[in-house]
Structure 1
Amino acid sequence: MEHYAVELDLEVARWDARGWPRPDVALVAGSGLGVELGSPFASRPLGDFLPFPVHAVSGHALAIDLFTLGGRTVLYFRGRLHAYQGYEPGQVVFPVRLAARLGTGALVLTNAAGGVDPALAAGDLALITDQLNLTGRTPLWGEPPAEWGPRFPDLANAFDPRLRRLARREAEKLGIPLAEGVYAGLPGPAYETPAEVRMLRTLGAGLVGMSTVLEVIAARHLGLACLGISLVSNPAAGVAESPLRHEDVLAAGQAATGRLRRLLDAILTAPDLLPEAAPNP
């Protein structure tokens, strides 16, 4: 598998040559979740940073924005790459690896997800507590550079417990309900069958989608702390009687944009977001 190690080093050098500051935190936006965080001081198409051709999914802008929020530089990936588009795992996670190689201190991932848990309704925000990688793939196949991280990384805390506590605290301050659940990542692009949803519920999943899990594996391998937030775009197949449509996913994301923006703004500007600013537990 191609890990694009040389290309990543070249992009880091190009980043510095542009005179851009190194980011403190990175944010990845999911389907229809392109929340506005203000006016970026720099913005470029994502394809400018990738050593392979790119194409977008409906509802997924593909761009990199740089913001200053609360005195921090935020690297904002508008949209992401998906394995179901034909990308290899090393390509799917290239943006996350770039963020890590730039020295980012934390990674916040958002996605639109189906609600496997019947208690979840369309429009709910849910904190991802853990994940099930059911894609049958991993970005660690082959031989990643040894300096990136251990050959067999520990994923016991795939989603950082301290960041999850911070997110719950900020949501409570804002009065924004924040559910929790395990996220199951499937390859897609077909939505799940009712039988598959019943299986996922048995396995302990409360959320299901077609992204995120490979990004988290790559980020943790590089030592990057992760926080994941899902927008429940629809009940998963069999939970409700209505058919699943991509248009509904986008509409749910747009309807929840205000709440998600306020929560993300609070998280990204929290004084203790980054490890060096966090108090001892």
Structure 2
Amino acid sequence: MEKMYEKVLESVDYIKNQTEYKPRIGIILGSGLGGLVDTMEGKEYIDYKDIPNFPQSTVKGHNGRLVIGRVGGVEVLAMQGRFHYFEGYTMKEVTYPVYVMKLLGIEKLIITNSCGGINTTFEPGTLMLINNFINLVSDNPLIGYNDERFGPRFPDMTEPYKIYLMDKAKEVAKTIGIDYKEGVYAGFMGPYYETSAEIKMIAGNGADAVGMSTVPETIAANYLGLDVLGISCITNMATGIQKVKHSHERVVETANKASVKFCNWIENIIPEII
């Protein structure tokens, strides 16, 4: 891992040679939420497989490419496809793109996901502004050798999702009439949907939603000094709350249906936070 900085620089150099854009806002798109790319202007695509040292997406609903362009006149870099611990990647590999974004000049990161609702005031299609997280995986991307060129050995997590970014998102939602909830996201390892007993435990720990991503990227982004905004799309209610069995196809279908509202919110947030 001592060579990670050099590997990240190789990835960064390749990306810089493919585009003239210099985005300062990054976006990680969750399952079924890639529709934001359709609204981007002047799009340029870079496949993950072509980027040196970059992992590859293996989950349905994740296209596996970077998309660079403009949203509301603002240059952005979007990950259309993310990586998960359950795919067999290490936490360093899961969060590798966040390190790349940092050295590319990204300053603010919008992290999105599709997840299960625990809070019973939620329903499939609800958008949730993430105000905090719980890490339920006994691993994280900061374990091991620390390169001070990236960040400090012991980063602070007092404000993992920046309050000023949440305030901007709330203002935008009110202006354009977007309904949303706010809550705590719990990161579960997967790749199975949680048992009803696990959901009771997670709910008792204060979580409003549960999913298999986002937490590692949030940890890495804070470590790297990026300001983070998190938004979840509740695509199903958690086991024991929802009466039907879970399926990834239904998750993607629900996310696609909520995508118009989700994309409208993100499109209007971006010009307000540059």
The two structures have a TM-score, normalised by structure 2, of 0.95
User: What displacement does 1:241 show?
Assistant: 1.2
Question: Which one of 247, 254, 257 corresponds to residue 256 of structure 2?
Answer: 254
1:211-243 alpha-carbon deviations (Å, 9 max, x no partner):
000001110001000000000000000112111
In 1, distance between residues paired with 2:3 and 2:63?
Answer: 24
Deviating more after overlay: 139-148 vs 118-127? 139-148
Q: Structure 1 residues 191, 12: CA separation in 2 closer, same or farther (over 3 Å shift)? A: same
Counterpart of 1:48 in structure 2 is 50
**Counterpart residue number, 1:14:** 14
Q: What is the aligned counterpart of 1:187 among 186, 189, 193?
A: 189
Deviation, structure 1 residue 135? 1.4
Q: Indicate which of 185, 195, 198 corresponds to 1:196.
A: 198
Distance 1:222 1:162 in 2: 18
- Equivalent residue number for residue 138 of structure 2: 136
2:117 matched to which residue of 1?
Answer: 115
Summarize the Cα distance change of 1:50–1:203 in structure 2 as closer, same or farther, 3 Å threshold.
farther
Q: Which residue type is aligned with residue 81 of structure 1?
A: F
Contact 1:109/1:226 (8 A) holds in 2: yes
Q: Percent identity?
A: 35
**Which one is further off, 260-269 or 5-14?**
5-14
Q: What count of residue pairs does the alignment treat as equivalent? A: 272
Aligned counterparts, 1:1-281, within 5 A: 4-35=4-35, 36-51=38-53, 54-270=56-272, 273-274=273-274
Distance 1:156 1:85, change over 3 A: same
1:40, distance to aligned residue in structure 2 (A): 4.0
SS in 2 for 1:147: coil
Instruction: Indicate conservation of the 8 Å contact 1:113/1:233, yes or no.
Output: yes
Structure 1 vs Structure 2 CA RMSD: 1.5
Deviates more, 1:25-34 or 1:143-152: 143-152
SS in 1 for 2:39: coil
Aligned counterparts of 1:241 and 1:162: Cα–Cα separation in 2: 38
CA distance in 1, matches of 2:60, 2:173: 29
Unaligned runs of 5+ residues in structure 1 are 275-281
Deviation at 1:52, TM superposition (A): 5.3
Give the letter aligned to residue 73 of structure 1.
E
Report the CA distance shift for 1:125/1:2 in structure 2 as closer, same or farther (over 3 A). farther
CA contact (8 A) 2:185 2:208 kept: yes
Q: Which runs of 4+ in 1 moved over 6 A?
A: none
